[in-house]
Chain A
């Protein structure tokens, strides 16, 4: 579903944020991407989402090159940044319809999905209010709903658990699993190692822009915990 081949990103001034990263996410997989602050996680996720340009390598989503066919690649993708700022001048329902229009989602399907996810995240009643009046958690939920209604083949999430209450986190994990059962893939970054260990089929650990370890979660963790593996690789233990 997602193929990152020899991807590198150098910022103006010469700082190499990511160096020769290669990883593959297969359909039906939840892929966790972990690393310390400034390791290059967000830079990678933003490049995959087509939000940020990059210098070297190729990224293909469902066979579409993000540089050569960005519109095609984005059509099957949903991306959620770590702090999703949504148009405050819009009402929640207007934002969802705006996104649905951009992705050509038919009227009946969007109504059904907005109702389903809105009710599940207990946000339907507030969809008539301006986003400017939403709390941080409500915005996070709205952004998640806007991603789920797209039924993406690849869902890219940057720190999705930050700001969500425990029940919303639980719900989200369920929907991620459901999405993957339908053949989609999820690629997300997190600092919550317990969640990554329980949720992910595959995990990649990145340090100073370089991939230091990746593989199936059971293999990577072995008999210890992901926290132990992470700290060992980071050199903190």
Chain B
């Protein structure tokens, strides 16, 4: 056990440091790490609290509070899976220190357990952020008073600790499949992309069905619960939290057993798995033919594209916002009649253009392509530094790559939305103008965050793309800018119609101009100092 805890300490420390930047003293690192953690915690608690209270408002009057825990438990499970499945490949099977640790007199099961425990801790955080607000909502919004007893909280804590065990077992198995495909399929990235696409399709199907379930919740809550019999462990968890100790224990067993099987089963073959997943031998059948030349800029852009499209972790995490943006635009156009009748029901005062711009801004905020790109250079940064290219040019190529992807998506989505929502010509033009300005500011801001909070020593790209401070700030600060713009629109609307557009436009122009100016002025020196 002593060895296990020593290994666990290393894994956890590595995980905790993953959000910090690689420069600065330990106090600064701790502060940036804590800041990122607080931001994620706040958002997690807020989102979960919001959805829990929305559900509870519908379900408490019909005494079906149990469904809140079923849905939130499912949310935690699916969210945790999304968050950690692709991390498993790097954290569990592809750690840089695998060679070192496997050469030490430590059992492979202990090593596997320590790696898996780090994933468990991530899932535990997720479980806590989702279930704790649901518990708080239950305590305040139910009439039965079930949430006021100490035992309710004890049962909730048991669920919070047990659920991530199931999540971890599933994500380790799926992650092993991803690692296997990457090693075995010649187009490893394509294989991973297919798995991720199927996974996203499953999530979308689930979300669509969940929406349908919530719509008919109040009328048929009991029926909805019955229809969820395929997710029996979630029902046991929810009934357990609400007071059934037997079902809670059954749920705990349902989580502990798969976790133990995965840890001990894969632990026994950990060495073989690590070897098999890493074994990619170079072929020896290449025939050199005439090579083509291209310019510096094209080569650097092609390199960014190759990294983005060839690294599923990067593409799916940083590109999901753009996919959502285009999908939303096309879906709005296809279902424009439904959308228009919905808007007619809401009434003529609804700020349609504002809503479209806000949703587009939200999707674009999630497109953090430039923010992690400096950290992704990591150990390869010497190649760019040695190259006869000015630092400023390197930064603009990285920023430009994000714009190259986001601008066409913005235009497609903007045009589709303008047509679907029947916006006037000037409203459509304004929508495109503000979202394009936002694109520019967001890309430049992301690049600046990448330079200010680099993570050049990350153990794998998962850490950079998912957890680095640059990415967290590169997403959430622009989201806050979108929020402030919406407020300014509403404020301006109270003054004069022109002010409603002018105020957010001025803010966005200032945001874009400020970020571009700082990037141009300070960026090269910041890159040189890394």
Which residue among B285, B386, B387, B390 has the maximum number of chain A CB atoms within 10 Å of its CB? B386
Q: Which residues of A contact B294 (CB under 8 A)?
A: 101
Closest chain A residue to B529, Cβ basis: A53
Known contacts: A86-B380, A89-B310. The answer to whether A102 contacts B299 by CB under 8 A is yes
Closest chain B residue to A93, Cβ basis: B286
Residue in B280, B298, B386, B529 whose CB lies within 8 Å of A51? B386
A31 → B minimal CB distance (Å): 19
**Cα distance A98–B383 in the bound complex, in angstroms:** 11
Proximity bits, B365-388, A CB within 8 Å = 1, else 0: 000000000000001101101111
Closest chain B residue to A122, Cβ basis: B284
B310 and A51 form a contact (CB under 8 A): no
Q: How extensive is the interface on chain B, given as a class?
A: 35 or more
A104 and B288 form a contact (CB under 8 A): no
Give the number of A-B contacts (CB < 8 Å).
116
B282 and A138 form a contact (CB under 8 A): yes
B286 and A124 form a contact (CB under 8 A): yes
Closest chain B residue to A111, Cβ basis: B291
B311 within 8 A of A: yes
B2 within 8 A of A: no
Q: Which residues of A contact B293 (CB under 8 A)?
A: 97, 100-101, 104-107, 110
Known contacts: A51-B386, A85-B380, A85-B382. The answer to whether A132 contacts B280 by CB under 8 A is yes
Residue in A81, A99, A101, A107 whose CB lies within 8 Å of B382? A81
Count chain A residues whose beta carbon lies closer than 8 angstroms to a beta carbon of B.
51
B281 within 8 A of A: yes
A222 within 8 A of B: no
B383 and A87 form a contact (CB under 8 A): yes
Q: Which residues of B contact A85 (CB under 8 A)?
A: 379-380, 382
**Cα distance A189–B139 in the bound complex, in angstroms:** 69
Q: Which residues of B contact A107 (CB under 8 A)?
A: 290-293
Residue in B288, B290, B380, B387 whose CB lies within 8 Å of A87? B380
A49 within 8 A of B: yes
**Cα distance A135–B281 in the bound complex, in angstroms:** 8
Q: Which residues of B contact A125 (CB under 8 A)?
A: 283-286
A137 → B minimal CB distance (Å): 11
Closest chain B residue to A85, Cβ basis: B379
Closest chain B residue to A75, Cβ basis: B388
B273 → A minimal CB distance (Å): 18
B380 and A126 form a contact (CB under 8 A): no
**Cα distance A167–B78 in the bound complex, in angstroms:** 54
Q: Which of B111-149 contact A (CB under 8 A)?
A: none
Known contacts: A97-B291, A107-B290, A110-B291. The answer to whether A102 contacts B282 by CB under 8 A is no
B interface vs A, CB < 8 Å?
Answer: 280-286, 288-296, 298-300, 302-303, 306-307, 310-311, 379-380, 382-383, 385-390, 528-529
